[in-house]
Chains A and B, each alone.
Chain A
Amino acid sequence: MEKSRHSIRFIEEKCIGCVTCLRACPTKAIRVVNDKARFDEERCIDCGECFRLCPHNAIVSETTSYADLKKFECTIALPSPVLYSQFGYDVLPNQILLALKKIGFDYVFDEAWDCELTTDALQVYLDNCKGPFPQISITCPVVVRLITMLYPSLVKHLVKLEIPRESAAKKFRQKAASSRGIPPEKIGVIHITPCPAKMISINHPVGLERSNLDGAIAISDIYGPLLGALKDLEEDVILQLSSGIGIAWAISGGEIMGIRQENCLAVSGVQDVIKTLNDVEAGRLNDIVFLECLICPDGCIGGSLTVQNRHQARRKVRRLIKMFGEHTRVSHEMVIRLFREGYFNLQKEILPNPLPPLDPEPAKAIQKIRQRDEILKTLPGKNCSACGAPDCRTLAEDIVMGKASIEDCVFLTLRKLSGNS
């Protein structure tokens, strides 16, 4: 079976056809047809806004289940630094890593350290980058999808550096395979994730032929077992290698925290990201060297698969940054060597994948826009969504594209009925 292009799924039996999700969708990918919400695979960027807001739990995320781990001979956990922010104020990263080990992972590695490594690599990359500026982070798979689809002219701004979870997965799979003497494919490398979108970057990676990760388990799915395991930790080895620089990747502004250049910018939240990308496209942010864009509010701690209040989580991250310091523990010489070895190279060029125009022929597309604008004039402009499209303009467009009819408008139909009676 072909792997889903998306990390969310709508459950028809639970959907009552309310319009909460379609109004929240930033790319207008959702319609309600016959009282059921459905989404356009082409337009969905996996931001998770619908998933967050559905009042009926009719939208589920497709992450790896705990039971899936059984199919591997050996498992490696790579937790997002966000995991460190999800427990009580005094629970430390090392305890959390030990707890992951206790619940059954054969190896647990501190992904925050690889983030730290990437911070230093990013510094080297930016020092040598000739533009175009701003260079835009590729850490958030939703932002990458948003750019390739809706901002194709900005694709060349994307940073050409492998993301930490991928480079880490590759490295640790090889290490584990050689130390255990088993084939690399028998090892399951699992990311512990704050958001469902990581699944799309695993199933449909960009910049890579194939993801180095075998799956992603939701923080919310693994939280209970971890809480239990934290109670009586027996083993006491040091698994945490990162300083505050790596841990900071959990929050908005984390990627740029360890960067020397002052003209870096961090943006989070879907609407702010869209606004900022519009500014980049208008040439408004040319003086910015590096732009960190994360789709979730406040960064990855705002992911929809987290359990902790994100403001509380941010407080915890700040505490950890203070505690473990803002001095990187990564050796710069090692980063330079890894750079030479191609450790940070993307395997594949990231290409634009723009949404198709209203018509392949520009002349016809123009006609369709004219028709849409004519229809729009006849609609009430209340943007009530009762027709099943998010707003009047989208309904007008759907009518032109043959996907809806003018009778779908509740107001016009009511007017017609009362006129006839």
Chain B
Amino acid sequence: MAANDRLVQEYIVKGWDFSRAGEASCEIKNTLKQIGISAEVIRRVAIAAYEAEMNVVMYARQGIMRCEMDPQQIIITVEDEGPGIADIELAMQEGYSTATPEMREMGFGAGMGLPNIKRNADLLDISSTVGRGTKVTMIFRLS
């Protein structure tokens, strides 16, 4: 029973694929709407998931976005093969960004990505190995 009311969906996010960027988080959002999650939680998940997805698109070669949900919580993990984050604490600061001028030209790189995730998720965990990749885990509680 416990396994039955748990849903796991996985999406592959390609680095530098700006034309499809945002699709995975949009899919997750649509699934939440079908489950009947409240508009307020959906808004928070939509923003946080989108930011995490964009981080993969901008910085990593590829990533896997995994969404696990049950009636109690939504766990989204985004694991990428990318450059990693050397100083996570610094990366969490608003306005800090390592975006290239190119990315900034596209309207990204305001340094709000991780802070925005933190603001919207109930729990955020980031682990990273420089040169290998980053794993972002965010939890949204439903009850």
Query: Which residues of A line the B interface, CB within 8 A?
Result: 150, 152-153, 155, 278-279, 281-284, 352, 354-360, 362-367, 369-370, 373
Contacts and interface: CB of A to CB of B under 8 A. Distances in A.
Contacts of B36: 356-360, 362, 365
B141 interface: no
Interface string B34-54: 111101101100110111000
A282 B35 contact: no
Contact of A363 (B25, B31, B50, B71): B71
B114 interface: no
Contact of B69 (A364, A366, A373): A366
A186 B34 CA distance: 46
A250 B97 CA distance: 42
B35 A370 contact: no
A150 B30 CA distance: 9
B35 A365 contact: yes
Interface stretch (B3-11, B80-88, B127-135): B3-11
A283 B5 contact: no
A330 B103 CA distance: 43
Contacts of B26: 278, 282
Contacts of A155: 39
A283 B7 contact: no
A367 B47 CA distance: 25
Contact of A354 (B31, B33, B116): B33
Nearest to B26: A278
Q: Which of B26, B36, B69 has the most CB of A within 10 A?
A: B36
Contacts of B5: 362-364, 366-367
A362 B34 contact: no
Contacts of A373: 9
Given A283-B116, A358-B35, A369 B71 contact: no
Interface string B119-143: 0000000000000000000000010
Nearest to A358: B34
